[in-house]
Structure 1
Amino acid sequence: MPRSDRLVPGPVSPGLPDPLPRGLSELLGASGETLGVALVVPMQGPAGIFGPSCELCAELAVEEVNRAGGVLGRELRLVPVDGGAAPQRVAAEVEALVSAGVVHGVTGWHISSVRQAVAPRIADRVPYVYTALYEGGERTDGVFLTSETPDVQLYPAMRTLARERRLRRWFIVGNDYVWPRRTAEAARRYAARCAARICGESYVPLGTRDFAEVLRRVEHADADAVLMLLVGNDAVRFNRAFARYGLDRTCVRLSTLMDENMLLGSGAAATHGLYSTAGFFASLVTAENLDFHGQYARRFGVDAPPLGSLGESCYEGVLLLAALMERARSLDVRDIGASAEAVCYEGPRGLLRMRRRHMRQRIYLAEARGLEFDVVAQL
């Protein structure tokens, strides 16, 4: 099970959570024998729907790395941090862990507002592998990125759907923070390249439950496609409301953030005409993915949270962090940055190589078929 439960309170360093997360007290007493990794994943809020699968996938990767001898001869140990808390609170907890020497690296899936709070507080101190798809443009020293950006994910998907479905009028629905807003800026450019246009935009707070006014605006705009930039349970509620309103009969949805957990939460009746684009889908038939499924099922059983692109990204994050340290033969961020362009590794997404601190990978377009994704194209 995910290790987010708490230990008995005890003396802690200033800024560290009290009581301590499971595994942290052991690291405080054995820092020379282990490498601590802060795993920042959502344990609450809209993104909490896929937090458990993120934790399990990261744990699976740590166990794999440790079986192979660890990193620089030391065993990896995860220290969970709730990435669903307020961004500055998350940043303060991560900074305290780094300052105390408890963690030697940071990874995990969390929204861009959290990344923007964390990155400057640990820059040049420890490597930070961010695993969420994001808006692009991250330049902070020591930050490395495993997932998709709009230029390689959203633009090819919009272009393909414009060609195959003749979509010309896009309406953007997003949460009101940096990732949806910045991605929407890119979508406006992409729409023009596809002989289409953005006919409306609506942004809602994280945790929104009522989408009635948004759906009325979509209908009145006569949109034939909706670009969904909603997180976790917000996307689930939007999908259900969209279908109840009847818009799924006339309007296609495209999401760059829709994994299998969110698809299940939406329900089969709410997924008609729903597309997703990502570097990983659980339904991909590749040798690497089949092996990954087998490892996950053997370790956590058939009742474990479903595998999806967001959880799998945390597996990638641990692998990349280990590869960066091993390639540099150092924990120093400057050494890691100097050798990062030579880093490559194999995982569920196949052979990945780093370029300009981003991992280059294949991107796919999938259409929802009930409660599963059917991959229809490689973009």
Structure 2
Amino acid sequence: MTHRDDARPPGPLAPEPGTLGVALVVPRQGPAGIFGPACELCARLATDEVNQAGGVLGRELRLVTVDGGARPARVAAEVEALVSAGIVHGVTGWHISSVRQALAPLVAHRVPYVYTALYEGGEDSAGVFLTSETPDGQLRPAMRLLAAERRVRRWYVVGNDYVWPRRTARAAYAYARETGGGICGESYLPLGTHDFAAALTRIERRAADAVLMLLVGSDAVRFNRAFAAAGLDQRCLRLSTLMDENMLAASGPDATRGLAATGGFFDALATADTLDFHGRYAARFGLNSPAPSALGESCYEGVLLLAALITRARSWQVPAIEGAAEQVSYEGARGLLRLNRRHVRQRIYLAEAEGLDFSVTADLDAWSGPGP
């Protein structure tokens, strides 16, 4: 489903003079739908702020939201139709890698595409710019820290069965070996899985020290509940590279013991930039809104980066943007950030669940860098 992000009467979408359309591709269904509302609100906040500052190239930004939780081919076809009709001049949003792989070949050479989800790494298509984490900078230092400080040696991987979990797990094999450990088993499950019994049995039989969770949204929520119900939280750690405060709340306080997460943003970060972002978000949408979280905040950054790219190049044409991209920076909830080879350079943290909240326990900068 596609809709315009305003209150005008429904009707055929068409280009609007004086506006610059942006396709916001975020999940409204499926396992990732749990954090779709935060993604939409954060993107709206960024759009409001850009427009209040004068827009982009004298034009008002206008979001056109596309359901990124639909089948990848359907999402890609919908966005391509918007680009071909001249309705949107850029694409951003949080969606899984399967959607990105379907979408990028159709639109990235035509309009700038800012992908905000953490992903498996390796994306180098012209016109694609990436704001979030990759395994080398996110997972590797976290596994090193847990090996050194918690003596984790035996890892078990539980992931959804698509490109991001499988390629991330492939990298995890190397990271585990670097610390004198290894991967003792893997389970890959379809998106939308409810029954984790077989995976839990294997985790227990393999005597895993920790589980690497590569599960999306509500699948991770159900796994957390099943893991705790089986009593495995008493003896086995969990590490997730995709766990936000909305997923903690849905899991419940009894299901988060021994759960850690790694990422570039947590609501608990008490920096001046983060606190300011939370204040503006609460003032715009109210205290009872979904937690902005890392996933929503990524969509805030996606709009800011897209605006900065077009402004710096003075064009939404991909060749012009590619030529100017290395000189682009933007300032958001994580401070001043810059691009390096189309990826945003960032600081990564480790956080541990305390009931329904995260406590940031380590800055992983000291655990980064090349392996032995």
TM-score, structure 1 normalization? 0.94
Deviation at 1:123?
2.6
1:1-29 residue CA offsets vs partner (Å, 9 max, x unmatched): x977998664x4xxxxxxxxxxxx4xx25
Deviations 1:278-332 (A, max 9, x none): 0000010000000000000000001111120001100000000001011111111
Map 1:202-281; keep pairs closer than 5 Å. Answer: 202-281=187-266
Report whether the alignment pairs 1:190 with 2:195: no
One-letter amino acid of the structure 1 residue matched with residue 351 of structure 2: A
State the Cα deviation string for residues 329-349 of structure 1 (Å, max 9, x = none): 111100001110111111101
Structural mapping, 1:116-127, within 5 Å: 116-127=101-112
Instruction: Provide the rounded CA distance (Å) in 2 between the counterparts of 1:3 and 1:244.
Output: 43
- How many residue pairs get matched? 362
* RMSD between aligned residues: 1.4
Matched, 1:374 2:359: yes
CA distance in 1, matches of 2:107, 2:15: 23
Secondary structure in 1 matching 2:124: coil
Aligned residue number for residue 152 of structure 1:
137
Structure 1: distance between partners of 2:268 and 2:51: 28
2:318 alignment partner in structure 1 = 333
The answer as to whether partners of 2:15 and 2:86 remain within 8 angstroms in 1 is: no
CA deviations on 1:172-191 (whole Å, 9 max, x unpaired) are 00000000000000000000
Matched residues, percent identical? 72
Cα distance change of structure 1 residues 193 and 291 upon mapping to structure 2, 3 Å threshold: same
C-alpha distance in structure 2 between counterparts of 1:52 and 1:123, whole Å: 25
Which residue of structure 2 aligns with residue 79 of structure 1? 64
Question: Any gaps of 5 or more consecutive residues in structure 1?
Answer: 13-24
| Contact 2:5–2:62 (CA under 8 A) maintained in structure 1 | no
Q: Show the counterpart of 2:53.
A: 68
Distance 1:103 1:143 in 2: 16
Distance 1:6 1:209, change over 3 A: farther
Question: Separation in 2 of the partners of 1:153 and 1:228?
Answer: 13
Q: Which residue of 2 aligns with 1:36?
A: 21
Partner SS for 1:151: helix
Runs of 4+ in 1 over 3 A off after TM superposition: 2-10
Shift in alpha-carbon separation, 1:29–1:222, aligned structure 2, 3 A: closer
Say which SS state the counterpart of residue 134 (structure 2) adopts.
Answer: coil
Q: Indicate the residue corresponding to 1:51 in structure 2.
A: 36
More divergent stretch after superposition (149-158 vs 342-351): 342-351
On the 8 A contact 2:23/2:79 being kept in 1, the answer is: yes
Q: Which residue of 2 aligns with 1:171?
A: 156
Q: What amino acid maps onto 1:42 in structure 2?
A: P
Distance 1:192 1:254 in 2: 17
Matched, 1:315 2:308: no
Residue 290 of structure 1 corresponds to 275
Aligned to 1:134: 119
What's the TM-score, normalizing by structure 2?
0.95
Aligned partner of 1:220: which letter?
R
Alignment match of 1:324 (pick from 302, 306, 309) = 309
User: What stretches of structure 2 of length at least 5 have no aligned partner?
Assistant: 365-372
Superposed CA deviations along residues 133-156 of structure 1, whole A, max 9, x for unmatched, are 000000111000000000000000
Give distance in 1, aligned partners of 2:301 and 2:359.
22
Distance in 2 separating the partners of 1:275 and 1:229 = 13
Q: Secondary structure at the match of 2:221?
A: helix
Paired amino acid for 2:279: G
CA contact 2:15–2:85 (8 Å) conserved in 1: no
Picking from 348, 367, 372, the partner of 1:363 is 348
Q: Taking structure 1 as reference, are residues 207 and 168 closer, same or farther at Cα in structure 2, changes over 3 Å only?
A: same
Give me the whole-angstrom Cα distance separating, in 2, the residues matched to 1:55 and 1:331: 22
Structure 1 distance, partners of 2:108, 2:354, is 43
| DSSP-derived class of the 1:101 partner | coil
The aligned residue for residue 84 of structure 2 is 99
Contact 2:4-2:65 within 8 A present in 1 as well: yes
Aligned position for 2:370: none
Contact 2:159 2:189 in 1 (8 A): yes
SS of 2:66 mapped into structure 1? strand
